[in-house]
Amino acid sequence: MVRLQYDDAAFYIFGISIIGVYTFPATYIAVGKILRSTVLAKPVTRRRLLKGEEEKSRRLRAEMAKQIWTPCFIAQLFVLAVLWGLLFTFLSSYTAGG
């Protein structure tokens, strides 16, 4: 039986390309969501709010912060962490010569 010899460099380049096509944009979107819900959230207004407005504003900010941490988003972050690990593994194997 004849064994085929595959080109290892081509496999690593293909793997890096395919994983990178998903990983880079998905990471950009995920980091943007996290930043918009925490650091870049709209600041509290300086004007004096009525009691009902103040409670509503506080409640809406708390809902926005909780809304991002859904099971689907957490699963996406887990998949991204695995893919980044795989991407770095492929990159290190490729640069080490296969």
Sketch the domain layout of the chain as residue ranges.
9-37+50-95
| Claim: this prediction has a pTM higher than 0.75 | no
The DSSP letter of residue 66 is H
Q: Which two tokens stand for residue 37?
A: 């819900």
Whether residue 23 contacts residue 79, with contact meaning beta carbons closer than 8 Å, is answered with no
The 10s digit of each residue's pLDDT in 37-86 is 777 666 655 666 677 777 777 787 777 777 788 899 999 999 999 999 99
- The rounded distance, in Å, linking the Cα atoms of 98 and 95 is 7
pLDDT score, position 68:
82
Residue 84 confidence (pLDDT): 96
CB 88 within 8 A of CB 7: no
Mean pLDDT of 8-17: 87
CA count, 13 A, side-chain hemisphere, 56:
5
pLDDT of residue 43: 62
Section 22-48 average pLDDT: 80
pLDDT of residue 48: 63
**Residues for the chain: how many in total?**
98
What type of residue is 79? V
